[in-house]
Structures are given as C-alpha cells and as structure tokens.
C-alpha cells in the first residue's frame, strides 16, 4: 500500500504578509475536515485583515455556532490560555453558508468590524462600549468605509445602527473588490451545514438567497410530540403520540388534544 503524500499548506500570518508553511500527513486523500475548515477560515480572516484593515486586527479564535437566528457573532475576550493570553472570538454559522460565498465572507468581515470596534474604536462617555449587541455609529462608519453598507433591512435606505443589523456590499467598494478577487482566485466555502438550504448556484450572488430577497432562519424540524390533557383538572403534558399517561390527582387517563 502506497503511503499518503505529505501535503504542504500555507497560512497567512496576522499581518497578512508572512506565509507560514507546515506539513500535514493526512490519513486519506485530503486533510481532516477539522483542519481544513479551520485553515480556510483563518486564511480568509488574514486576507481581509490585510486588505481591509491594514493588518492591524489581532488574531482571534474562529468558531462555529448553530444559533438558529445568528449568521455569526463577535465575543470579546472569550478565550484564555494557561499562560493568561486572551483571545477574542468570531463565530460563524454554517447553516447560513449556502446563502452564497460573498454573503458568508461579508458575515466574517461584519464580525471583524465588531472586533475593530472593540480594540480600536472610541469609547463612550462612560468609558465603555455601549449596550451589548448594539451596532453603533463608529461600527457603522467603519463598515461603510471598508465597503459594506449597514442596513437593518439589508437594502438601501435602512437604518445604519441598531441591535439587529444586516448589510450589503457597496458596488465597487473595498470589500466588493477584495471579495471578488478572492473568489476569482478559486476560494469558496467548502464545508457547510448539510441539513440546511441548498447551494446558491451563482458564487457572486451577493446577498441573494435560495428563497428570495430576505434570508429566513435555518429550518428546524417540527416537534413530533403530542399534547395530552386531563379532563378533570386540566393537567397538560407533552409526549410521543403512543404514550399512555394518567393524572394521579384525578385518577384519570390523559387524552390527546
């Protein structure tokens, strides 16, 4: 049996200029999914850091979330190692990757703007950052400066600040050009949640979605539980349809309702 070849991989450093090469011995014809996904998103983070932020953002830990209503989020100082080193977190939701590569990269950059806001943005009068989860004016100004227009509707004319914000690429802006160069170079989102959506055929679909203009939350299977109720005291319980339940207070069986 022939040995698997060693595959050399390059990851760009935090300043976006210095590549680090290292060797990986895969146990199959490709890298492990864990390594592959982590390496891909780290490379994209470093790329956009260099192109849109001048390489000033600190490296962070990129994780994945399955929160049904979040395309991603930023959490400041979320991790600490044994030596006391602090790292921020950017989480991406793979259930939303099928909205398109440009949309997925926009989510990453959206959260990178939150990181920029936390590290380099101005403090408020009390020395803090404002309400948790609030998209304020410094964040919105930075988003617009790098080519992503914040909008609570995801369309032109929407509010630029608030708790629930979307965005869209500014045509010809810095993000638009950097993202298209990345996609033309062959980069695309490879791994995503297998249970949600279908792939968007057009890699330049931008903020388009499989179902129309407004992204919908990831679909979840409906509950298969049945509600049972006591005819005497009204006690309610939920269980599978074949369950046989009774009320100990009234000594009556619960009936499906």
Tens digits of residue pLDDT in 128-176:
666 677 888 999 999 999 999 999 888 899 999 988 889 999 999 999 9
pLDDT score of 23: 41
245 vs 232: CA distance, rounded Å: 14
The model's pLDDT over 75-100, given as tens digits with 9 standing for 90+, comes to: 999 999 999 999 999 999 998 888 88
Q: Are residues 76 and 145 in the same domain?
A: yes
In a domain, 200, yes or no: no
The model's pLDDT over 210-236, given as tens digits with 9 standing for 90+, comes to: 333 344 444 555 556 788 888 878 888
In a domain, 189, yes or no: no
pLDDT for 18 beyond 80: no
The answer to whether 71 touches 192, Cβ cutoff 8 Å, is: no
Radius of gyration of the chain (CA): 23
Give me the chain's average pLDDT, please.
79
150 vs 156: CA distance, rounded Å: 9
In a domain, 97, yes or no: yes
Residue 83 bridge partners (DSSP): none
148 vs 122: CA distance, rounded Å: 20
Give all strands of the β-sheet with 61-64 in edge-to-edge order. 61-64, 86-92, 72-80
3-state helix, strand, coil in the chain (%, to 5): 25, 25, 50
The answer to whether 98 touches 192, Cβ cutoff 8 Å, is: yes
In a domain, 132, yes or no: yes
Indicate the residue among 184, 216, 242 that finishes a domain.
184
151 vs 229: CA distance, rounded Å: 46
Residues counted in the chain: 257
pLDDT score of 40: 94
State the pTM of this model. Answer: 0.68
pLDDT score of 19: 46
Alpha helices of the chain — where are they, by DSSP H?
A: 33-53, 101-120, 137-145, 174-184
Q: Are residues 61 and 141 in the same domain?
A: yes
The model's pLDDT over 184-217, given as tens digits with 9 standing for 90+, comes to: 999 999 888 887 555 444 444 443 333 333 444 4
23 three-state secondary structure? strand
Q: Are residues 102 and 28 in the same domain?
A: yes
pLDDT score of 253: 82
Least confident range from 29-33, 64-68, 111-115, 128-132: namely 128-132
In a domain, 148, yes or no: yes
In a domain, 212, yes or no: no
pLDDT for 248 beyond 90: no
In a domain, 177, yes or no: yes
Q: Burial code of 153-162, b = ≥16 C-beta within 10 A, e = fewer?
A: ebeeebebbe
User: Pairing relation of β-strands 236-239 and 86-92?
Assistant: unpaired
Number of domains the chain contains: 2
In a domain, 78, yes or no: yes
CA 125 to chain centre: 31
pLDDT score of 122: 81
Indicate the residue among 184, 215, 246 that finishes a domain.
184
pLDDT score of 211: 33
Supply the range of the domain harboring residue 80. Answer: 7-184
């Amino acid at each position: 049996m022939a040995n698997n070849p060693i595959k050399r991989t390059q990851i760009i450093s935090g300043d976006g200029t210095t590549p680090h090469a290292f060797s990986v011995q895969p146990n199959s014809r490709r890298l492990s999914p864990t390594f592959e996904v982590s390496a891909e998103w780290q490379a994209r983070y470093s790329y956009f850091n260099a192109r849109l932020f001048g390489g000033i953002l600190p490296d962070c830990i990129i994780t994945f979330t399955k929160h049904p209503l979040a395309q991603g989020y930023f959490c400041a100082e979320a991790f600490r190692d044994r030596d006391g080193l602090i790292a921020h977190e950017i989480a991406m939701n793979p259930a939303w990757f099928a909205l398109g590569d440009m949309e997925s990269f926009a989510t990453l950059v959206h959260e990178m703007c939150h990181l920029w806001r936390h590290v380099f943005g101005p403090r408020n009068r009390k020395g803090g950052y404002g309400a948790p989860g609030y998209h304020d004016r410094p964040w919105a100004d930075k988003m617009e400066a790098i080519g992503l227009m914040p909008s609570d509707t995801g369309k032109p004319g929407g509010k630029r600040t608030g708790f629930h914000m979307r965005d869209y690429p500014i045509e010809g802006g810095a993000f638009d050009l950097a993202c298209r160069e990345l996609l033309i170079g062959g980069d695309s989102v490879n791994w995503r949640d297998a249970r949600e959506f279908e792939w968007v055929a057009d890699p330049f679909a931008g903020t388009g979605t499989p179902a129309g203009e407004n992204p919908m939350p990831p679909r979840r299977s409906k509950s298969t539980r049945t509600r049972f109720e006591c005819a005497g005291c009204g006690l309610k319980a939920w269980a599978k349809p074949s369950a046989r339940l009774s009320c100990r207070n009234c000594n009556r069986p619960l009936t499906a309702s």
